């Protein structure tokens, strides 16, 4: 019906325009104006797109210019310098001795532990959501996970403090930092797992079930391996998100001037070190190199996430 009536309306309109004696011709001048507007709009769009790509390079440039002098082997393998050493070095116009090894080890431990908590939980939860797309309980869980994504990171720090620092480790600890960060990375793993598994055709599940394969093995051996690239991408993006987090760690891991591998003790982390360097006038020069290191780490994680998404993609 709808298709049938359309041309009629068009014809009517044309007749109407002819009766009104309105010219549908466009003058040369107007045409030129239109083309010009078109050009301005297109080029404006290109320029603005370019502009949003600029900050990253400016940041990298700034950090590299100011921080490259500090980046050397000892920067990665030595603990953070104390204020006196740094003051003497700066006074003699030398580079500050020491590095951020305590931060690197702390970040590895805290982020590793957070991943250990959040990855299995997130993948299982995401699988449940994908398998029960329409269920009421799943809808509730999905809503809560979405809300969790919006919880300010400092609030997660407070939670880590209340849950772990006070009752469990009776003092600031890497464990408390891990718990706070694991809550932070959970939503991204859940949602990426869910979205990935939803894309997998249902016929694959049918194929496995029709072979008499029990449901848990269908999920573990057929569905999850098929979605591995999407799930891993989500996991790595989650890791890169928490690796740069500072606020929750201030209230949980606190920081440490030495390498500490005991998870019930206070621990340093790279972003925490940046904050500490900022607070110590003698160590200011270390800010740039530590920031550069952190930024490169996170960029590397993001690039590897993209590479995995492309290379490990399973075709179905």
Q: Does 222 bind another protein (CB under 8 A)?
A: yes
- Is residue 233 at the binding interface for another protein, with CB under 8 A as the rule? no
Binding part of the chain for another protein, among 117-125, 175-183, 214-222, 290-298 by CB under 8 A, reads 214-222
Smallest distance, Å, CB 235 to another protein? 18
**Sole binder of another protein in the list 217, 261, 262, 306 (CB under 8 A):** 217
Out of 11, 162, 207, 303, the only residue in the binding site for another protein (CB under 8 A) is 207
CA angle 189, 107, 104 (to 5 degrees): 140
How far apart are CB 225 and another protein at their closest, in Å?
4
Separation of alpha carbons 201 and 209, rounded Å:
14
Dig out the tokens for 254 from the structure: 């606190």
> C-alpha 176: how far from its chain's center?
21
Determine if 314 is a binding residue for another protein (CB under 8 A).
Answer: yes
Question: From the centroid of its chain, how far is CA 286?
Answer: 25
Hey, is 201 helix, strand or coil? coil
Per-residue string for binding with another protein, 162-201, x by CB under 8 A? ---------------------------------------x
Which member of 96, 105, 185, 208 binds another protein (CB under 8 A)? 208
Percentage helix, strand, coil, to 5, in the chain? 75, 0, 25
Among 147, 209, 299, 303, binds another protein (CB under 8 A): 209
Q: First-to-last CA distance in the chain?
A: 39
Residue 254, Ramachandran bin (φ over 0: left; ψ between -120 and 50: alpha; else beta): left
Q: Which stretches of the chain bind another protein, using CB under 8 A?
A: 201, 203-214, 217-218, 221-222, 225-226, 228, 314-316
């Amino acid at each position: 019906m709808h298709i049938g009536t359309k041309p009629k309306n068009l014809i009517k309109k044309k007749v109407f325009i002819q009766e009104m004696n309105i010219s549908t011709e466009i003058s040369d001048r107007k045409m030129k104006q239109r083309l010009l507007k078109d050009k301005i709009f297109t080029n404006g769009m290109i320029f603005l797109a370019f502009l949003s790509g600029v900050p990253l390079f400016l940041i990298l440039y700034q950090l590299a210019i100011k921080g490259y002098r500090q980046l050397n082997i000892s920067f990665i393998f030595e603990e953070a310098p104390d204020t006196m050493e740094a003051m003497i070095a700066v006074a003699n116009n030398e580079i500050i001795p020491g590095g951020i090894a305590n931060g690197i080890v702390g970040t590895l431990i805290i982020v590793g532990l957070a991943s250990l908590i959040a990855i299995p939980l997130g993948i299982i939860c995401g699988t449940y959501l994908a398998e029960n797309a329409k269920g009421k309980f799943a809808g509730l869980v999905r809503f809560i996970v979405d809300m969790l994504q919006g919880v300010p990171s400092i609030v997660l720090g407070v939670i880590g403090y209340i849950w772990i620092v006070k009752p469990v480790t009776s003092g600031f600890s890497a464990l408390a930092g891990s718990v706070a960060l694991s809550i932070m990375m959970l939503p991204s793993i859940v949602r990426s797992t869910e979205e990935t598994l939803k894309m997998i055709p249902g016929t694959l599940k049918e194929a496995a079930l029709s072979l008499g394969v029990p449901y848990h093995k269908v999920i573990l051996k057929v569905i999850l391996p098929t979605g591995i690239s999407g799930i891993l991408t989500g996991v790595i993006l989650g890791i890169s998100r928490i690796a740069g987090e500072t606020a929750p760690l201030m209230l949980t891991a606190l920081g440490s001037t030495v390498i500490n591998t005991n998870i019930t003790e206070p621990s340093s982390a790279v972003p925490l070190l940046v904050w500490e360097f900022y607070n110590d006038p003698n160590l200011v020069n270390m800010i740039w190199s530590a920031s550069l290191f952190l930024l490169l780490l996170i960029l590397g994680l993001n690039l590897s996430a993209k590479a995995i998404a492309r290379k490990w993609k399973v075709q179905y």
